[in-house]
Amino acid sequence: MSDVSDEVLAARLQGGDHHALALLMERYTRKLLQYGARLLPREPDIDDLVQDIFITVYRNIQDFDPTRRFSPWIYRIAHNIFVDTIRRRHKESVRFFEFDRLIPHPVYHDPTPQEKEDAEMRVLVQKGLEHLTPAYREIIDLYYFENFSYREIADILHVPIGTVGIRLARAREALKSHIPEREINQE
Amino acid sequence: MNEHNDNRIAHDIQENVLRKVEEGTVRSHSRAFFMVRFVGTITVAVLAFLLSTFVVSFIFFSIHESGEQFLLGFGGAGVLTFFELFPWTSFIIDIALLVLLEWLLQGFKLGYRVSLVVIFVGIFGGSALLGFLINLTPLHTTLLGLANKGELPIVGSVYESIRDCHASQGVFRGSIIALAPGQITLTHQDSDRDGDDGTWTVVLPPGSGPFSLGERVYVFGPLVDGRIEAQGVEPLPTDQF
């Protein structure tokens, strides 16, 4: 069953196959636990939240379109649950109004060569992620750890693609401002 | 978390969810549920847009019908009075409807893939254009007629407010009953609920007119000792009160 796509499993779940749910959970539990741990580093009950994500997936599975990719869909649900949790339980502020969604932005591409940037980003992310706001932590996580495209991140966060680009660029800058250059080069 | 602990947590999560599903304590919503929700959202969005369009058309109508568009040509004081008399309540209701519409659209790709300003300007522009076109139809004139006869429930008073007296802001409407060099005598006797009835001498600003007896005019200027020192006078269309 490992070669069966997420979308096929989701379609089987829509048909009432609970074994498909077990397989989907097998594939996504650890990923979502890590996503939650990075987004809510001080939350002790990430496992309860991940459980809520799967329950929400099951409740809403008929709303999923199997012709589209499953992973952005489940991450959209995870995003909503994690952000709600930050708003309810944590003192960390999450803006109800996102100013970077206000005006159109061109899709921003960092001119730094990808390979160098990836090595540099690994250091930055390991050392500096906790210093970022939840919005910046999340976009870094979705792009660098979950490997989603700009378009998929736009669908997960419900923001324009240009906003993904600008938010990612600002998150990188915020990371770099927290970690001195010499610490990056030492690694 | 070590590897063993991770595995145990993941296993517990999966067991708990599957148990709830198997026991039936968690149920999946049907396709019909999502269809109804989708249709409901679209219906509310369409209603919000139509209502917004109606409100915008009412704003155009009330400005035209009250003659207050003339204020924009009466200098700085006229422009200030125009904004003072602008139907702000209707405008705020319209903005609230557009914000609701924008919020509803955020659930759709079309709504969130475009920046908030662009989508707001788009729906505001569409609503304003349609509102202007509705303003050209006899819809509001008919509703005003019903309001005047007391046959328009709920929004009747809103239509009647178009006729409100604004003498304190220096706005007068009426028929010319006497002409003299540099001045006219204006009267307004519609015996309606507002207090705009009266007869005034209007000192005309240089370059205004010529006017004729019986002509209906819109006058802007302060009332001092029964005389209006007009800063602007414009003839009203014959279909206006």
Q: Which residue of A has its CA nearest to B23?
A: A18
Average pLDDT of chain A is: 83
Residue A95 lies in a domain: no
- The reply to whether A57 and A13 lie within a common domain is yes
Sign of CA dihedral B211, B215, B216, B222: positive
> How many domains does chain A contain in total?
2
Domain ranges of chain B: 31-161, 166-235
A28-64 pLDDT, tens per residue? 999 999 999 888 887 788 999 999 999 999 999 999 9
Confidence of residue B113 (pLDDT cuts 50, 70, 90): confident
Which of A19-28, A70-79, B141-150 bottoms out in mean pLDDT, i.e. has the lowest?
A: B141-150
Percent of chain B with pLDDT over 90: 43
**Cβ pair B118:A104 closer than 8 A:** yes
User: At which of A61, A89, A117 does a domain end?
Assistant: A89
Interface ipTM: 0.79
Q: Which residues pair with B198 in a beta bridge?
A: B188
Residues A41 and A65 in one domain: yes
The answer to whether position A97 is within a domain reads no
Rounded to the nearest angstrom, the minimum Cα separation between B213 and chain A is 56
Q: Which CATH number fits the domain that encloses residue A152?
A: 1.10.10.10
Query: Which residues of chain B are within 8 Å of residue A162 when distances are taken between CB atoms?
Result: 115
* pLDDT surpasses 90 at A20: yes
For residues A54 and A119, state if they share a domain.
no
Flag if B30 and A62 touch (Cβ within 8 Å).
yes
CB contact under 8 A, A54 and B13: yes
Whether A122 is in a domain gets the answer yes
Residue A43 structural domain: 6-89
| Same domain flag for A59 and A118 | no
A98-120: pLDDT as tens digits: 677 777 767 665 545 564 566 67
Closest CA to A120 of A180, A166, A164: A180
Of A89, A118, A147, at which residue does a domain stop?
A: A89
Short-list B121, B117, B115, B110, CA closest to A162: B115
Q: In the prediction, which pLDDT does A107 show?
A: 64
Quick: pLDDT tens for B196-216.
Answer: 678 889 999 888 878 888 888
Residue A98 lies in a domain: no
Cβ distance B18 to A158 less than 8 Å, yes or no, reads no
DSSP secondary structure letters along chain A: -TTS-HHHHHHHHHTT-HHHHHHHHHHHHHHHHHHHHHH-TT-TTHHHHHHHHHHHHHHHGGG--TTS-HHHHHHHHHHHHHHHHHHHH-SS---SS-GGGTS--PPP---S-HHHHHHHHHHHHHHHGGGS-HHHHHHHIIIIIS---HHHHHHHHT--HHHHHHHHHHHHHHHHHHS-HHHHHH-
B166-235 belongs to CATH 2.40.50.1000? yes
User: Chain A residue with minimal CA distance to B22?
Assistant: A18
Answer whether B17 sits within 8 Å of A25, measured CB to CB: yes
A10 and A85 in one domain?
yes
Domain boundary among A60, A89, A118: A89
Q: pLDDT at residue A182 above 60?
A: no
Find out whether B38 and B207 touch, Cβ atoms under 8 Å.
no
- Tokens in use for A29? 């539990």
pLDDT value, residue B15:
93
pLDDT value for A33: 93
Distance CA B202, CA B183 (A): 5
- A161/B20 Cβ within 8 A: no
**Residues of chain B above pLDDT 70, percent:** 95
Q: Please name the amino acid found at residue B6.
A: D
Q: What was the pLDDT predicted at A79?
A: 94
Interchain pair A55, B17: CB under 8 A: yes
Tokens of A33: 């636990």
Residue B240 has pLDDT above 80, yes or no: no
Same domain membership, residue A118 and residue A55: no
Q: Is residue A28 part of a domain?
A: yes
| Chain A interface with B: residues with Cβ < 8 Å | 18, 21-22, 25-26, 29-30, 33, 47, 50-51, 54-55, 58-63, 101-105, 154-155, 158-163
- pTM score, whole prediction: 0.78
Amino acid letter for position B108: F
